[in-house]
Amino acid sequence: MDNNKILENILNAREHRAQLRAQFLKQQLNTLSLSLNIPGYPKSTNLISSFFTEVKKDLINYLQANRIELITKKETLILDEAGDFFIVPISKNAKIELKALKNLTENFETNHTLGRLIDVDIFNDLGVPISSGKKKACYFCGAHSAISCMRNKRHTKQEIRDLIFSDIEKYSAITTKNNCINTLSAFASKAILYEISVSPKPGLVSFKDTGSHTDMHFFTFLNSAVSLTPFFKEFCELGYNYTGKIATVLPKIRHIGLKAEQEMFKATGNVNTHKGIVFLFGISLFSLAKIISENTKYSDTLFRNLVIKITNGIVENELEVTLNKVTTHGELMYKTYGKIGAGIRKEVAEGFPSIFKNAVPFLDENFKNHLEINEAEIQKILQTTLLHIMTQNNDSNILYRTNFKALTQVKQLAKKAINSKKDYIELCNYCKENNISPGGSADLLSVSLLIHFVKNAQL
């Protein structure tokens, strides 16, 4: 398109805007409009439009927070040769002087990271723009007013555009990152809250009872869950930004994990509620955030392969070296039962085989509309998911408290209970009577839920 044609189109688009405003004048309404200062042509791209959408959302929230009433049913949003444009009339009920409103919107611009790009205009019901008399600073140098730099041609259009595009790109990368981290950590909290709320559970603490435990109850888990939330964000942050070697990242994940554990013990009065989850979610959230940050769509295979890489050699390195000097539960179980007793380390080293065989596919199939199903149905689906895990998992919590025979028995009872409520209650009773608590499987239920939420949201 030649320059004259472009100019003509831009002028036509501006004329259209004036007409829009004139409609509101006839109705004697003041108006507020939003546009961006993009020099040159084109005035908009996909990147700019999505930035504009964010700014518009933010501005409306800001005005609402300041109790400015807009007539949103008469709002208009357009994208044409003059760029992105939004106009909305201001309610006659708004108890604010237009000058004060102009000051308010100028504060919005000033406090926004890219505020020099943003133009919020207020027109009174005679079509006169409200001005505060302040001159907007030049986007490029900030040292002079925008008008002065334009008149004196201090910068070329191209250099200003390059800076604007690169700034918007950075801004949108930060927004995307924050959204990802907030969503993932909220899914993690939701997963552990769902797990603890499944009631009753075999030998485990639930909303209804404390299973085989005497030192903790439902509220202990709520205290613990809340204390972990900030650390879920930290795991995601690490994964999202990580560019180092995967083989050396585990100590970094554990470093955050240890801080999380200390907060957990503080919140529960020294009860171990979620130590396993801290370890599993540390690795899982790191992996999920890393996969998403690389603009790759989540897949089970990508996730599992990354977990395997992170935890490569963990069973041998952490359980075998101390065979002669057993100091932890994990080492004792490994010494006694070999690979069967390698617990959660074996599970991560193999990329969560116990959940990907049946549990995650079962959730993907039955839980995708979970916001629309009733509580009894949710309970049933999550209990069945837990049973699917228990039939697969060699839970070292069970081995530690009892023996291999009891583990085998629990796995068989869990298989029977998948399709029978009566057998489920029998399994719960068996666990209670024999002081069995499949805590490892409960942790894996939380991981299954986290994975399912991510898949369902198509992150």
**Residue 352 contacts Zn ion per CB under 5 A:** no
Nearer to Zn ion, 146 or 314 (CB): 146
The piece of 153-161, 166-174, 196-204, 363-371 that touches Zn ion (CB under 5 A) is 153-161
Tokens representing 70?
């807009």
Q: What is the number of other CB atoms lying within 10 angstroms of the CB of residue 182?
A: 12
Question: Do you find a cis peptide bond into 200, omega within 30 degrees of 0?
Answer: yes
Q: Toward Zn ion, which CB reaches closer, 20 or 141?
A: 141
Rg of the Cα atoms in the chain: 29
- # chain residues binding Zn ion, by CB under 5 A: 5
Q: If binding is defined by CB under 5 A, does position 340 make contact with Zn ion?
A: no
d(CA 150, CA 416): 78
Restricted to residues 115-144, the positions that interact with Zn ion (CB under 5 A) are 138, 140-141
In three-state secondary structure terms, 36 is strand
Smallest distance, Å, CB 59 to Zn ion?
Answer: 25
Residue number with CB closer to Zn ion (16 or 155): 155
Stretch that binds Zn ion, among 10-18, 148-156, 330-338, 399-407 (CB under 5 A): 148-156
- Asked if 424 is part of the footprint of Zn ion (rule: CB under 5 A), the reply reads no
Q: Which two tokens stand for residue 258?
A: 């240890």
33 forms beta bridges with 87, 121
Bond before 42 cis per omega within 30 degrees: yes
Is the Cβ–Cβ distance between 192 and 228 less than 8 Å?
yes
Does residue 194 touch Zn ion according to CB under 5 A? Answer: no
The residue within the footprint of Zn ion, chosen from 48, 149, 160, 454 (CB under 5 A), is 149
Using CB under 5 A as the binding rule, whether residue 101 contacts Zn ion is answered as no
Looking at residues 279 to 318 of the shown chain, list those that interact with Zn ion (rule: CB under 5 A).
none
* Residue 160 in the binding site for Zn ion (CB under 5 A): no
Interaction between residue 163 and Zn ion (CB under 5 A)? no
Task: Kindly state the smallest distance separating residue 140's Cβ from Zn ion, in Å.
Answer: 5
- Of 156 and 328, nearer to Zn ion (C-beta) is 156
Give the CA distances from residue 201 to residues 77, 267, 311, 405, 450, in Å, rounded to whole numbers and listed in that order: 52, 23, 30, 21, 19
Quickly tell me which residue has 């949710």 as its tokens: 378
**Would you say 86 or 140 has its CB closer to Zn ion?**
140
Question: Minimum CB separation from Zn ion for residue 117, in Å?
Answer: 14
- Residue written as token pair 């924050």: 178
Stretch in the footprint of Zn ion (CB under 5 A) among 149-157, 237-245, 276-284, 330-338:
149-157
Closer by beta carbon to Zn ion, 146 or else 198? 146
Q: How far apart are CA 356 and CA 352, in angstroms?
A: 6
Q: Which is nearer to Zn ion, 138 or 310 (CB)?
A: 138
Torsion of CA 382, 387, 388, 390, to 10 degrees: 130
CA-closest candidate to residue 455, choices 370, 347, 354, 344: 370
**Cα–Cα distance measured from residue 213 to residue 219, given in angstroms and rounded to the nearest whole number:** 13
Indicate the residue among 154 and 329 with the shorter CB distance to Zn ion.
154
Considering the complex, what minimum distance in angstroms separates the CB of residue 138 from Zn ion? 3
- CB 143 → Zn ion: shortest distance, Å? 6
End-to-end CA distance of the chain: 39
CB 159, min distance to Zn ion, A: 10
Q: Given the complex with Zn ion, which of 137 and 406 has the nearer CB atom?
A: 137
Q: Report, in Å, the least distance between residue 186 CB and Zn ion.
A: 42
From the list 345, 304, 305, the residue with the least C-alpha distance to 321 is 345
Contact set with Zn ion (CB under 5 A): 138, 140-141, 149, 154
